[in-house]
Structure 1
């Protein structure tokens, strides 16, 4: 079956699905395979739950009129996503970077939705499966699609670009994330810059933070760059007004007070503001969008609980974001500031050094309390309290109450440090 033929089936469906727990009536179920599962085995279940058809790649599960047999389900999903992207007329904005991707995506969506019909990546569906699924959410009347792209090794962004074929792009930053897969910081820069390479080949516009020396160097001789800066008059000027604790900024005489905690969120706001200006969203609507956005999903959430002002940033962590969070938290004016920090994952051979540097920074910050949890943090040489597992931390918190005041909780997703919250009552 050709991709064009499969697309005709897709257009008659209610959408694409890869999880039998999320079947919608008349959806097109893609029976993906993984290391520990075979989606072909669930094709019949998907049909029973209401799927219109199931796309499979093993003949023994084929049922005439209920399944579509293809050579490779994943490749068919990816090809279909690319085909549908070109079938629709939406402009595609690709977004990647080491830190702040998802918050920036949500802010861009909030701003651009003021004037356009926009879809954006749900959650963190930003890989070789998530990107085509997002592309398949584009409707014929969608005007802009914001596609988040994640990567933990080189050539991954290049591949995702081949699927989404973006018209515009933005890289939030180049930080110490996924060092194991990328092979160090230089590998991170090379891998993320594959978005630049793709857009340059198409002679397409690139949005940039002109205050980032890496971005300035990468785009030095590129003509179609649209940037913002706090200093350079050659770019769109945005001024940082403060983050105590919420970020405030100013552009064109308009002051915008956000509900985002931490100076590290300033650039995320700037990117959304820049896109809004480029796409001619009125400044008053940009102001509304940025000021009304409230973070969720454990990302820089400010929570009041049991005498604590909690900054919960437990969705992800790497050395760059951890350092930024600690420095911002240290600057807050508060009589009592405590931190609970969890391990940072996918650092490879750099794990020991990077965790030690964060432990040293936390120790030098003289917080009221600083608790480190995880295999890597437990190996650091420090005078701070260390816990090898979350269970050990939980046992401590059930017996010991931290000083009331400000509390930063940050760690990689695998640490699931939001589990600390019920222990603070």
Structure 2
């Protein structure tokens, strides 16, 4: 990016900057004083810590200007200070200004599960024809989304913005800022049901993505989700595109085959040949269909899009195979979990073919509210005694599932741990044998990622 201090001040409706500072050049924007680069604008956010307190460190790291919402008596005097009422609002206003200046097509993606994978797939297919910028990591909230926009190169033609949320109203803020040309909802699960009350409440929250949808913008949704179909009816029919396994969808799949490291399928969008995804999981086919639907909307040739899908790069910790101890293989999916996603992953893992055993390590799913016990118990339907050899459960909430499985799996095949993960790791290091497949799945806050690291062959085991 390239902006002057004068331009930034005008964009956020700040007071006039002294003439001597007006033409100072800004090439980056950041809020973490430890991670700034040269010629940065520092945004001192006020939360648990007051970012204003770190202005000296920010200047030492490369800040050449700063937003400021405190008294000017406390402001630095050796760099331009852009005084604003709210530094977060100023960050968002600046992002909106820069987005309007670059004028890329905007694709917004949300959903209870699969939004990061869909983002990665969408980047792949769209990059077959356009210069693309996308959300990095989990920068998908009211701070991360504007930062993503401001990191966008000026030659960007399409920006892909992941939109996350915990509470009602949060997606609306992001959509109103980004004003998507295309909005994708991957699925409605049970994530954040603690705060939203029901799947209907979750659907309402995800549908906030159309709040800022441009006139005649396109909404892409799963065609087998009546909660979304019903709510999408406020749009014109031609603005709605559906995907899924139903032959009535605008984009549908057939002949799905999922293996250890790839999934293939056919679609009505490209009938002649199989499409290959370099990831396991039949559930990833819907993510691919959503991505391909965006390609159709943008007028991208499907044959080019399909070629890119075959080699797309999945963000780390999303259903990735890792080499485990004792010549085992670990299927790491411990970044996020809700009941719908966990059952889908278990169903796919169960049908994989291997010469060793299948072991599942399942941790607590969080933010499920009053339905926590019921939803953890529902995982039982995805655990087959014929396909799964060992079940290791971790956490307070998984105890209800453990009690339900006692008579089904028996004490030799079922184990529960809580608290310190050390005993569970020690147990797994003895349990795991050559050729075993081990699935690890939980909410991020349960921290099964630390268990994954302990079982990797590359760690000091």
| Shared fold, TM over 0.5 | yes
Give, in whole Å, the separation in 2 of the partners of 1:170 and 1:423: 36
Structure 1 spans left out of the alignment, 5+ residues: none
1:419 equivalent among 439, 450, 453:
450
Other structure's SS at 2:109 match: strand
Q: Partner of 1:144 in structure 2?
A: 158
Tell me which moved more, 100-109 or 357-366: 357-366
Q: Is the Cα contact below 8 Å between 1:369 and 1:402 reproduced in 2? A: no
User: Is the aligned partner of 1:205 residue 2:218?
Assistant: yes
1:290 equivalent among 283, 286, 309:
309
CA change 1:310–1:76 in 2 (3 A) is: same
User: Is the aligned partner of 1:23 residue 2:36?
Assistant: yes
TM superposition shift of 1:153: 1.1
Other structure's SS at 1:372 match: strand
Give, in whole Å, the separation in 2 of the partners of 1:103 and 1:122: 12
CA change 1:234–1:106 in 2 (3 A) is: closer
Structure 1 or 2, whichever has the larger Rg, is 2
Give, in whole Å, the separation in 1 of the partners of 2:276 and 2:42: 44
TM superposition shift of 1:262: 0.7
1:4-403 mapped onto 2 (5 Å cutoff): 4=12, 12-35=25-48, 37-59=49-71, 60-66=73-79, 67-199=81-213, 202-220=215-233, 222-223=236-237, 224-232=239-247, 235-245=250-260, 246-250=262-266, 251-305=270-324, 306-335=326-355, 336-359=357-380, 361-362=382-383, 367-380=388-401, 381=403, 382-383=405-406, 384-389=414-419, 390-401=421-432
CA change 1:178–1:97 in 2 (3 A) is: same
TM superposition shift of 1:31: 0.7
CA change 1:424–1:108 in 2 (3 A) is: closer
Q: Give every structure 1 segment of 4 or more consecutive aligned residues whose post-TM-superposition deviation is greater than 6 Å.
A: 5-11
Other structure's SS at 1:269 match: helix
CA change 1:325–1:10 in 2 (3 A) is: farther
Q: Partner of 2:11 in structure 1?
A: 3
Give, in whole Å, the separation in 2 of the partners of 1:239 and 1:142: 34
Q: Is the Cα contact below 8 Å between 1:230 and 1:240 reproduced in 2? A: no
TM superposition shift of 1:304: 3.1
Give, in whole Å, the separation in 1 of the partners of 2:222 and 2:177: 25
Q: Is the Cα contact below 8 Å between 1:260 and 1:294 reproduced in 2? A: no
Give, in whole Å, the separation in 2 of the partners of 1:227 and 1:294: 25
CA change 1:401–1:233 in 2 (3 A) is: closer
Q: What are the Cα deviations for residues 398-420 of structure 1, in whole angstroms up to 9, with x where unaligned? A: 44435742211111112232322
Give, in whole Å, the separation in 1 of the partners of 2:209 and 2:187: 12
Structure 2 spans left out of the alignment, 5+ residues: 1-8, 407-413
CA change 1:296–1:10 in 2 (3 A) is: farther
Q: Is the Cα contact below 8 Å between 1:209 and 1:228 reproduced in 2? A: yes
Give, in whole Å, the separation in 2 of the partners of 1:75 and 1:370: 48
TM superposition shift of 1:254: 2.9
RMSD, aligned CA: 2.5
Give, in whole Å, the separation in 1 of the partners of 2:246 and 2:283: 17
Which TM-score applies when normalising by structure 1?
0.92
Q: Partner of 2:409 in structure 1?
A: none
Count of matched residue positions in the alignment of Structure 1 and Structure 2: 423
Give, in whole Å, the separation in 2 of the partners of 1:372 and 1:409: 10
